[in-house]
Amino acid sequence: MTVGAVVEPVAVRLRRLDLASSEPADVLERSVLYRRGAVPDEAVRRGARAILDDIRTRGVAAVVDAGTRYGGALADGRLRVERSELRAARDRLDPATRRALDQAIENVTTFAATQRPANSTTRVLPGIEIERRWLPLDRVGCYVPGGLAPYPSSLVMTVVPARVAGVREILIASPADTSGAVDPVLLGAAGLLEVDGLLVAGGAQAIGAFAFGLPDATPPIEPVDRIVGPGNAWVAAAKLEVAGIVGIDLPAGPSEGMVLADETADPVLVAADLVTQAEHGPDSPAILVTTSPALADSVEREIAALLPRLERRAILARALAVHGRIAIAPDLDAAITFVDAYAPEHLSIDVRDPDAAAARIRHAGSIFIGPWAPESAGDYATGANHVLPTGGLARSADPLSVEAFGRHTQIQRVDEHGLAAIRETVGRLATAEGLTAHRYAVEARFRGPADAEPEGGRHGADRGDAW
């Protein structure tokens, strides 16, 4: 854009929803929004399944072929960037960018450090103790979107909690851009965090390499224990397909932004927050929920004035035209009911008493309180994680955290007195289920070998008698 050029506003009209309406069509539209889901359509899932099957069979050759067909491969044909190259990229970062990455890493680490679960031991009965022990995973794969735009911030958000958890090996996958290169800031961020390797691949092929491993690669890539990170529909579809083989975080869909505002909000700030998440892609919803029709009109005018000044204005215009909404509520109660039913990924609250409103919200991935808390602050540097549940999954799923990079195991300690205390309970319930071997395993411990043989097989079990 030429310096000094006159910037003309563009016509922007977001679809309006009347939350007071009980008309069947309006009720149905709201219901569709509430149950929109984050799962890609079946055609994408079939395509992802085919890529995964090919990788399981042919390994490296299949990943290379997919990179050639769909993009995301390095120009020189290599599949992996090693730690030495990542460290060199770290050392080439300009000082200002390195300071920004250092602060983001520090803040995310500070918040993540509060999340590591503690071990616990419970005495159920005298002689029965159960320990719940938390253990970090051995190996994880972090997917970082790339290709059209680099996302070093997503690398920070996925790798830092894994580091805090104590994961032994952390691999990154991210596609190269259209020229066959990986963004130098992303490489430098990987070097700062000392990741163990970067797989240059995108989409379903990257997920397949993580899930199945690439034993024919040089050096070999072992399967990971869990795959985390945001991605496009192909990444989400592939993660769902491998979920029975490897752990996943969640099938993240398009980024979502919602603003809850009343007549006290500044329309300039509301407009800025709405376009923030819509900037991610043409399928990203941006929704204003307000009790003020006057604010709604002002926000539309501000968006129209803002769009021509933004680099991704074409993407923004498409996202807002197709997925932009303004929901007009008769009162704050109705507005909050709509927000909770929608369960947004990001929710900005700019009303007269934002903390009181936030206390009533049960379903949202990450909530931003007041006019000084833009969503972009959380995307980069507050320390909160920006890998969040989308598609309504905020009803049941967490933001990415340290807990995602470990698991609990149960350790049961039982002595003779403890087993005696539950002996009859085990015997009766095992008998009720017809599992006489289960009952025998308890009774055998209270008798000598000669006395422990079951008497009459199922006959004794039918009577409910001891052996």
pLDDT confidence of residue 359: 98
- Which has the minimum average pLDDT: 5-9, 103-107, 256-260, 373-377? 5-9
Q: Which residues contact 153 (CB under 8 A, 6 or more apart)?
A: 104, 379, 380, 386
3-state secondary structure (DSSP) of residue 360 = coil
345 tagged catalytic: yes
- Comparing CA positions, the residue from 86, 101, 121 lying closest to residue 408 is 121
Active-site entry in 256, 300, 302, 345: 345
Average pLDDT value for residue range 402-416 = 97
Confidence check: pLDDT of 116 > 80? yes
Query: What sign results for the dihedral spanned by CA atoms 225, 231, 237, 240?
Result: positive
State the Cα–Cα distance between residues 275 and 302, nearest whole angstrom.
Answer: 11
Angle ∠(185,189,193) on CA atoms, nearest 5: 170
Confidence check: pLDDT of 457 > 70? no
Q: How confident is the model at residue 254 (pLDDT cuts 50, 70, 90)?
A: confident
Are 169 and 197 in contact, with CB atoms under 8 Å apart? no
- Encode pLDDT of 139-188 as tens digits: 999 999 988 788 999 999 999 999 999 999 999 999 999 999 999 999 99
State the Cα–Cα distance between residues 391 and 264, nearest whole angstrom.
Answer: 29
Average pLDDT value for residue range 111-135 = 97
CA contacts within 13 A on the Cβ side of 388: 26
Confidence check: pLDDT of 462 > 50? no
- Encode pLDDT of 362-389 as tens digits: 999 999 999 999 999 999 999 999 999 9
Q: How confident is the model at residue 67 (pLDDT cuts 50, 70, 90)?
A: very high
Are 267 and 181 in contact, with CB atoms under 8 Å apart? no
- Encode pLDDT of 232-252 as tens digits: 899 999 999 999 999 999 888
State the Cα–Cα distance between residues 196 and 190, nearest whole angstrom.
Answer: 9
pLDDT confidence of residue 240: 94
pLDDT confidence of residue 84: 93
Confidence check: pLDDT of 12 > 90? no
- Comparing CA positions, the residue from 343, 62, 388 lying closest to residue 251 is 388
Confidence check: pLDDT of 459 > 50? no
Centroid of chain to Cα 51: 22
Average pLDDT value for residue range 28-36 = 94
pLDDT confidence of residue 277: 83
Confidence check: pLDDT of 4 > 70? no
Active-site entry in 280, 323, 346, 386: 346
Centroid of chain to Cα 75: 30
3-state secondary structure (DSSP) of residue 12 = coil
State the Cα–Cα distance between residues 216 and 388, nearest whole angstrom.
Answer: 34
Are 190 and 218 in contact, with CB atoms under 8 Å apart? no
Q: Which two tokens stand for residue 237?
A: 């579809």
Are 186 and 144 in contact, with CB atoms under 8 Å apart? yes
The DSSP H or E segment spanning 136 is strand 128-136
Q: Kindly provide the residue ranges of all beta strands, DSSP E only, lying in 341-443, ordered along the sequence.
A: 346-350, 366-369, 406-414
pLDDT confidence of residue 377: 96
Side chain identity, residue 404: A
Whole-model pTM: value is: 0.90
Centroid of chain to Cα 384: 13
Average pLDDT of the chain, as a whole number = 92
Query: What sign results for the dihedral spanned by CA atoms 189, 191, 195, 197?
Result: positive
Are 186 and 156 in contact, with CB atoms under 8 Å apart? no
Bridge partners of 349?
260, 369
Average pLDDT value for residue range 66-81 = 92
Burial class (CB in 10 A: 0-12, 13-18, 19+), 275: buried
User: How do beta strands 197-199 and 80-81 pair?
Assistant: antiparallel
